[in-house]
Structure 1
């Protein structure tokens, strides 16, 4: 599931380069955001991109960050308690080649992490059709955002439910089957569960993300 969440290395020929400045081009801090924002909102409503700044492999929660445009306009980019940006630049802002100023020492070495996730809220039960639509939309968006490098992009095969403990798949004919698990995380794969109508979980998951495994 971690591979499904961190796509920067998979969508690019090389990992996001680290930067050692107090400010850096927004395009390096937020790779592929401009490509993602070019996908029509109606085609990407079920998915989201999240970004975090890291130091020595650790998240930096509540970091102060500001987007600075060529015109001098400054827009705060709040970082939440988990270390992810709560707000991201718009496509128009990204196309203006802005910089991001971080409230850290100028010589601190930092890196950025990109996560690709779902908009599905944690719940005990899901309509299987919505899960299928989310997986399909994810692969379409990834392909469009990756452009010529789409052949390198990972393929999302299902939905994973962190900390849900277990679950049941209910099929249209009335029979049911247990959700499979990978490293104690239940997941639903449309290709393996054709005819499913509902997914019922043992516990409300703490996070609903993508699964990119083959089984």
Structure 2
């Protein structure tokens, strides 16, 4: 979390067992911390970033669980969880403001937690426009500044974009010059402030995932 950020923050869940229904529940606002603040930022100002939430059990992804959002008026909305433990659907801001619960179909003695993934909307590719990379980094910092909360506390400044397992790559400048991308163990990364006049980033192969980078070098 210090340098390469698909920002993962673990949150332990204290759930209430409901034996009659063979389910456990937890407040949606605890399972999905920061989501309400994120959704209050106008959509046009957060179009390049996303929040995802995963359920974990024994420090491992808890995939393919059955989860349901239950509002105080009794309305129930399925929240599918994929094989990697991530919610495929999130509550709306209106739903969250009603203090709903998320009900999980899991054993009563399960110890559960949730993790937040704050990441770019950028898709894995072999080449990127530097203007879009820069705009994505700037937007991430703006969103955290406006919404505040746990993300701003844990990662106050994004400095670049990480291309996980892309092996290597080049930065291409407007005059045709090139320079190698710096690399850490998880892959090469691009910091806009380090390459003035750059126009493209070309990778040796498409990354497995695009994430935020928060290192100073």
TM-score (norm 1): 0.92
Give yes or no for the alignment of 1:18 onto 2:19: no
Task: Write out aligned runs for 1:45-64 (5 A).
Answer: 45-64=47-66
In the TM superposition, residue 150 of structure 1 has moved relative to its aligned partner by 4.2
In the TM superposition, residue 3 of structure 1 has moved relative to its aligned partner by 5.5
Gaps of 5+ in 1: 9-14
Cα distance in 2, alignment partners of residues 117 and 154 from structure 1: 14
Gaps of 5+ in 2: 17-23
Residues 176/149 of structure 1: CA separation in 2 closer, same or farther (3 Å cut) = closer
1:134 is aligned to 136
Please point out which of 73, 76, 88 is paired with 2:75. Answer: 73
Task: Write out aligned runs for 1:109-128 (5 A).
Answer: 109-128=111-130
TM-score (norm 2): 0.91
The DSSP-based 3-state class of the residue aligned with 1:16 is strand
Residue by residue, what CA displacement relative to the aligned partner does 1:51-92 show, whole Å, maximum 9, x if unpaired? 011111000011111000111100010111111111000000
Residues 79 and 86, structure 1, Cα contact 8 Å, conserved in 2: yes
Residues 202/120 of structure 1: CA separation in 2 closer, same or farther (3 Å cut) = same
- Larger strand percent: 2
1:4 is aligned to 5
In the TM superposition, residue 101 of structure 1 has moved relative to its aligned partner by 0.3
Task: Write out aligned runs for 1:32-181 (5 A).
Answer: 32-146=34-148, 150=152, 153-181=155-183
Cα distance in 2, alignment partners of residues 191 and 149 from structure 1: 22
1:12 is aligned to none
Residues 66 and 74, structure 1, Cα contact 8 Å, conserved in 2: yes
The DSSP-based 3-state class of the residue aligned with 2:202 is strand
Cα distance in 2, alignment partners of residues 6 and 149 from structure 1: 8
Residue by residue, what CA displacement relative to the aligned partner does 1:11-67 show, whole Å, maximum 9, x if unpaired? xxxx63432431000000000000000000000000000101111100001111100
In the TM superposition, residue 136 of structure 1 has moved relative to its aligned partner by 0.2
In the TM superposition, residue 147 of structure 1 has moved relative to its aligned partner by 5.4
Alignment RMSD, CA only?
Answer: 1.8
The DSSP-based 3-state class of the residue aligned with 2:64 is coil
